[in-house]
Structure 1
């Protein structure tokens, strides 16, 4: 809600309170003021000028040479490019030395050889938004009424010497969606009186009820409909002060009748609509639900298809307005209108919201009906609008109104005790203090034996229960004045759990090795839901999915990470590594919530290492990804418990994939994505891993033990073993370590040979074995004895023999 500081002074005395101070007071009372805009900030030197002469520029087809009286001793010559500039107009002139928005300074200049001493301004050049400028001036300069005085401040005439407060209203404070509503709020804050607008008008002897009959079929949607008739109106521009107030509030002026309805919308918060009475085609207004498939053309010249959920205003037969949302093109006020039927009605918010949403017609009127208007302002708002039409459109207001009234609204009556107010707020207020607060709010108060019974006016529809009264007392007493107390009792300082610490470390480690963190959707498609899943379960489908692509809870993070790589690769970012820690969702039986398990997944594609100057390039491979995981496990103290076992996983390369075993249990996999999947995603060789992060972080790491650096030399022996092709190096390594203990400390694979010199079905694997004793120097005899034991164990347990 935009609130003009100058306009607000029509209803309340703001002497001694600046706009900035007022904004602070309103904010402290519970309604946030997002900002205060000074409309003429940085603008100066703009006056009203009178165009005495206008002729074509001799050297330019689209420029005019004007002689303008700006209130100085002599008229000045100004070159103007506006297509609508003409002799006799009163216009806004930025004189030499003036400053316009954007710190644009006006200087004497020559345009196509002709001197120009200033600038004739459009409204947009004075800082107004183009969407609120009257249509007749949207492509050129603004023309003041003929009575405007030459030489006076043009910004003052345009109400730009004003400040606008932008209120951020919560849905419960619909009462402040009007200038009067804000005036009541400010009056309560400042302890001052509200001055109501003038509505006293002289009616003609004819009666409005003789001109139109009101029938409401949908009484539950429209319990009150009031129609005023104004004859002999003269359609013309509305007064400049009204136009400028509307523009400051973000509404474009049209003509005096339409502008008055919009003005009352802002003033009272009550939407109105003006029909051309002669174009209605009948003397009846029938309010009903629309028929399914019924067609209707709204004011924006768009044909709407209605349903039985929409409320329409009709002339007894065809719709002439979509109730509370927009009028129809068949009954709009035109320059030829002479008789106006003025609608002021109370529509139920839900019905208006449905029509507004279905047709995408969100308007100032629909917003107010949706949040709720004051039922006791329906009639008075119509009277005020009729008064203004009589005054500014020379209309003749017929006596009374035609109406249909089944509305029954009782003001809310709520009781609360003084003891509860002080107990909840922690205050020590007296009954006099509380009563004064409710008096300032203009609530009716009755006090009986410590109980306060409050009758809230209908404009405050948010007052319903005791807690609402507590809030009113607290905010007007002043939140800053409520006593502050520290909590009593012991408290535990916040800290990360061990699980959270380890998870944070894992993220830092992966980012340290060069992976980027990704955050992907937990929802996926039926096709991708079970891909790469560590645990196969039934999929879980959302009851109301956004789309089929986001309809199933994921069982694996991997498909989403591959989509991330695909997206980046399509944009020439084809060397990338990403990881994600996130939940997967496992079905737990029908009508039961799924089990959430935290997984860690990563995906890397393209070049892992590249130094173009040194000519070095290394594409990512299995051992890069495996090395990343080994480093992470080592940092977590789990390296000794981790094994990698060749495996086949659906969607993964059959020869470059391994299961990850931790302390005897499978926790995930690592390997290359299957070439067919890579081709489908248009990716280069891509290596991935996914594992149960919960299993990793909750695993018990052995107690860290330190060993002294050996003082004595080690002895290294290399062996090349011939084994069956199916035998994996990990099995041989375990045999070597177990049979060579305790002198054997390290075993490393350094060669694999499967060439044509090998026997069919055999391969050669070479190991380097390091023997050391921390207490003494080993002899060759001691090492040979252990070494022979190792070879014997290899032969017995794996059929391995030394390569000849």
Structure 2
């Protein structure tokens, strides 16, 4: 919101305050200020010139030689290449040794052999952005009114000597999206009075709007209220310079006197005004309704949009003529041929406007105000002011009365609060009179009952204030944040600590990092295809209604997809050895759930070498058993040491069918481990990659084995080795489980130290060798006890697993 201090001064006295100081005060008290500027800064010697003569340049097919009266005794000869330069025009002239925008110095010189005493300028060359330059002058010089006096400084004519404060309005302060709203705020800050002109509408008593138009709305939820007025016999033409100056300094492009009036009222009152060419309305009933899927609308910007059933449109003859509260349609727009104008003011449903604006990616000055709130108190006054200005500037006749539907009454809010409460929150010692004075400066009528409670009447223009806490904030900022004493709060201290879940989550991260993995953080949003991969539980997808991009449309249901993207990113940059993990939440939703449940997961992805060769160690290539060891170490360190099983599976189409296993704890499925399918590796353009993913929430909830300190035995261990001929269908896990079950009380460890398949081993068999370690903390073991226990193990292996002891 760009605020001209000259315009603001018409409503509240600020000409005695330096603009920089005013901007700083607004920033300290109300909202952020982006900039305080004056367009003339850095420019000089730019004046009004009158073209006395304009002839073609003899040595150019596009240049002209102009004799220009710049208020001196003799005219200046200036060479100009603008296509619209003509004799008799009043133009902008940069004199020799002048400075224009961009710190460009204009000197006397020659162009194609002809002397040029300066430059005839377009608006862009003296600092006006392209977006606010009128279309007719966008590719040429700007032509001033006939009343401009040659030699006068151009800065006053174009409003370049006005200070403009660019304020950044927060969503809760939509009331400041208008000059009048800013005036109220500045008046409260400096304890000054505001004065606003009241429109005086001269209507044609013989003409009544009911004879021309009717109104209808399919629901009060769409718009409330909607007001229509009409002006006949208008003459559409460029706006007077005073109005163009106002719009330029507000950052708006002048179009014509009707459209400029609607934009002027928008900036003045914060009330968007819709303007239609009455003679282009095929039917005389204006209706506000939801759009139908597939309906088309061509906007005033010539964009063709396809409407959805959630969009709200203004229609005539059941055909959309504008996207309500956002942008008008081209078919009924006001042009130079318009003779009768319909003006509409409304308060649309802010939620519907916001959704449509975001979906269609059309964000206008109007939609911004409807989204943040409209002052219902001034809707009628704003449309009256608009028809008055249209009548004055377009020489039209105002038709009597206002056509309206869904009239909504002004609703002031009464809030009760006490001085004690305000002082307790702010740490101040303000008395009732000081607090009441602050409320009165804000325009809030305040009374006090017999119990000392303050009853504050908040006008509808401050719709952001609804509860006592809002009033406390108003007192704080008007009183001055710098004036509030700095006092440390007095409260009982409690020792902070992590919850059980937080401790396990942090331990899991540290364990994986100590194992050599690096933490990665991925987006919680992904594509629907990636969200459905590697799922540990059945779930419905959760889609965003208004995604920011096509790559972030769906809440993730796994962590692996994000990690694989990270692997692809690294390998595309020649980082081939990757070991990453991520701990985060996935979002699981059942069919009968409206909102998903967020669940803690932990996952890893490894590719290439786990570590490279050194002078004393061989390189270690990532494989299934390396990843399994990391997972086993993680689970064991978290206190889960028993009943962990890995069952081969081919259920996951994203995984290699022969190198993938499901992980179970106490027969409960908690995760997945294995190699990514070659087809998916090819799609992602990555090398062989192994992954694991665990439901960390289930792991947190599982019972844990407590670590018990056991002193190192003072007595020697006894070891026994066994070599087994094992069928291929028997797993190491089955063998170890049988050994531990039957090994007796002195068996303390079982280690697999050899695996062999090949020569001298029958097909369908493998040779496994184990070391069994026996120890007794209470005394020295003898061979007889160990041999008995060892023999029992071998007998059970033969009996239960059909294994031959070699």
TM-score normalised according to structure 2 size: 0.77
Number of the residue aligned with 1:260: 261
Could you tell me how far 1:356 is from its partner in structure 2? 6.0
Number of the residue aligned with 1:517: 520
Describe the SS at the equivalent of 2:35: strand
Spell out the pairing of 1:282-681 with structure 2 (5 A cutoff).
Answer: 286-289=285-288, 299-300=300-301, 312=314, 329=330, 332-337=333-338, 339-341=339-341, 343=343, 345-349=345-349, 353=353, 357=357, 362-369=363-370, 371-389=372-390, 392-393=393-394, 395=395, 397=397, 401=401, 403=403, 407=407, 409-412=409-412, 414=414, 416=416, 418=418, 422=422, 425=425, 427-447=428-448, 449=450, 450=452, 452-462=454-464, 469-482=471-484, 485-497=487-499, 499-508=501-510, 510=512, 513-519=516-522, 521=524, 529=532, 531=534, 533=536, 539-540=539-540, 557-558=559-560, 561-562=563-564, 576-583=578-585, 597-606=599-608, 608=610, 619-629=621-631, 632=634, 636=637, 647-648=648-649, 650-651=651-652, 652-653=655-656, 656-657=659-660, 668-674=671-677
Number of the residue aligned with 1:26: 26
Of residues 179-188 and 413-422 in structure 1, the stretch that sits farther from structure 2 once superposed is 413-422
Number of the residue aligned with 2:241: 240
Supply the distance in 1 between the matched residues of 2:169 and 2:708 (Cα, whole angstroms): 59
Spell out the pairing of 1:76-225 with structure 2 (5 A cutoff).
Answer: 80-94=80-94, 102-104=102-104, 119-170=119-170, 173-197=173-197, 199=199, 203=202, 207-209=206-208, 213-218=212-217, 221=223, 225=227
Structure 1: gaps of 5 or more residues: none
Q: 1:569 to 1:62 in 2, by over 3 A?
A: farther
CA RMSD, Structure 1 to Structure 2 (Å): 5.5
Number of the residue aligned with 1:763: 766
Supply the distance in 2 between the matched residues of 1:562 and 1:108 (Cα, whole angstroms): 65
Number of the residue aligned with 2:756: 753
Supply the distance in 1 between the matched residues of 2:46 and 2:251 (Cα, whole angstroms): 24
Number of the residue aligned with 1:796: 795
Equivalent residue in structure 2 for 1:227, among 222, 226, 229? 229
TM-score normalised according to structure 1 size: 0.77
Of residues 248-257 and 668-677 in structure 1, the stretch that sits farther from structure 2 once superposed is 668-677
CA offsets 1:32-51 (integer angstroms, 9 cap, x no match): 22412414386323512535
Supply the distance in 1 between the matched residues of 2:226 and 2:556 (Cα, whole angstroms): 53
Indicate if the aligned counterparts of 1:289 and 1:308 stay in contact, CA closer than 8 A.
no
Supply the distance in 2 between the matched residues of 1:546 and 1:629 (Cα, whole angstroms): 38
CA offsets 1:693-728 (integer angstroms, 9 cap, x no match): 3566674452567869x999x999987654444455
Aligned residue-pair number: 784
Q: 1:107 to 1:662 in 2, by over 3 A?
A: farther
Q: 1:151 to 1:647 in 2, by over 3 A?
A: same
Indicate if the aligned counterparts of 1:228 and 1:341 stay in contact, CA closer than 8 A.
yes
CA offsets 1:593-616 (integer angstroms, 9 cap, x no match): 9876533221223455568999x9
Q: 1:83 to 1:195 in 2, by over 3 A?
A: same
Q: 1:128 to 1:628 in 2, by over 3 A?
A: farther
Supply the distance in 2 between the matched residues of 1:798 and 1:299 (Cα, whole angstroms): 86
Q: 1:679 to 1:365 in 2, by over 3 A?
A: closer
Could you tell me how far 1:585 is from its partner in structure 2? 6.3
Equivalent residue in structure 2 for 1:685, among 685, 688, 704? 688
Number of the residue aligned with 2:251: 250
Supply the distance in 2 between the matched residues of 1:285 and 1:370 (Cα, whole angstroms): 29
Number of the residue aligned with 1:8: 8
Supply the distance in 2 between the matched residues of 1:145 and 1:383 (Cα, whole angstroms): 29
Describe the SS at the equivalent of 1:22: helix
Q: 1:86 to 1:618 in 2, by over 3 A?
A: farther
Could you tell me how far 1:130 is from its partner in structure 2? 1.8
Q: 1:672 to 1:180 in 2, by over 3 A?
A: closer
Describe the SS at the equivalent of 1:14: coil
Could you tell me how far 1:134 is from its partner in structure 2? 0.7
Indicate if the aligned counterparts of 1:296 and 1:328 stay in contact, CA closer than 8 A.
yes
Of residues 164-173 and 346-355 in structure 1, the stretch that sits farther from structure 2 once superposed is 346-355
Could you tell me how far 1:273 is from its partner in structure 2? 4.3
CA offsets 1:250-276 (integer angstroms, 9 cap, x no match): 321012232123212211223334555
Supply the distance in 1 between the matched residues of 2:136 and 2:614 (Cα, whole angstroms): 64
Supply the distance in 2 between the matched residues of 1:317 and 1:724 (Cα, whole angstroms): 80
CA offsets 1:3-55 (integer angstroms, 9 cap, x no match): 222321121111443333323433444x3224124143863235125356555
Of residues 371-380 and 210-219 in structure 1, the stretch that sits farther from structure 2 once superposed is 210-219
Could you tell me how far 1:624 is from its partner in structure 2? 3.5
Indicate if the aligned counterparts of 1:299 and 1:327 stay in contact, CA closer than 8 A.
yes
Describe the SS at the equivalent of 1:261: helix
Q: 1:586 to 1:249 in 2, by over 3 A?
A: closer
Could you tell me how far 1:139 is from its partner in structure 2? 1.9
Supply the distance in 2 between the matched residues of 1:546 and 1:328 (Cα, whole angstroms): 24
CA offsets 1:434-482 (integer angstroms, 9 cap, x no match): 4433432334455553455555444344556666555544443344445
Supply the distance in 1 between the matched residues of 2:352 and 2:727 (Cα, whole angstroms): 80
Supply the distance in 1 between the matched residues of 2:695 and 2:150 (Cα, whole angstroms): 81
Indicate if the aligned counterparts of 2:36 and 2:164 stay in contact, CA closer than 8 A.
yes
CA offsets 1:609-662 (integer angstroms, 9 cap, x no match): 568999x9865322432454466568x476976977564453355654556677
Could you tell me how far 1:752 is from its partner in structure 2? 3.0
Supply the distance in 1 between the matched residues of 2:161 and 2:712 (Cα, whole angstroms): 82
Indicate if the aligned counterparts of 1:274 and 1:340 stay in contact, CA closer than 8 A.
no
Indicate if the aligned counterparts of 2:43 and 2:103 stay in contact, CA closer than 8 A.
no
Indicate if the aligned counterparts of 2:715 and 2:775 stay in contact, CA closer than 8 A.
no
CA offsets 1:213-246 (integer angstroms, 9 cap, x no match): 4543449556563535364x54432232321321
Supply the distance in 2 between the matched residues of 1:340 and 1:580 (Cα, whole angstroms): 65
Describe the SS at the equivalent of 2:758: coil
